[in-house]
Amino acid sequence: MRSVRTITRGRVQGVGFRWFIQDAASAHGVAGWVRNRRDETVEAELHGSDADVQAVLDAMTQGPPGAQVDEVAVTDVPAPTSRGFEIRPTV
């Protein structure tokens, strides 16, 4: 089991990036959340098997059409107690 927090930099707001990540997470059975940040980055937490989390991270480096991903910073975090995947409000 792997749990990570990510900060994605580049042109990642206004291009459907959060929904893209939600779809990728759902396709791989990964729980967590994603949200825009006021500094124009996108923050996410991903929780699942090593392979499934890595698959979502790989998708994040590409992003949806219209996105330009410059960096995906990844930090390991403790496993959560909740399940599912949600899009959270901007912080």
Place of tokens 């392979």: 51
Place of tokens 């959560």: 80
Residue 18: active-site member: yes
Residue 35: active-site member: no
Could you tell me the two tokens for 45?
């937490």
Q: Which of 5, 11, 36, 37 is catalytic?
A: 36
Could you tell me the two tokens for 26?
């759902």
Query: Going by C-beta distance under 8 Å and a sequence separation of 6 or more, which residues neighbour residue 52?
Result: 28, 29, 30
Q: Which of 9, 11, 18, 88 is catalytic?
A: 18
Catalytic residue numbers read 18, 36
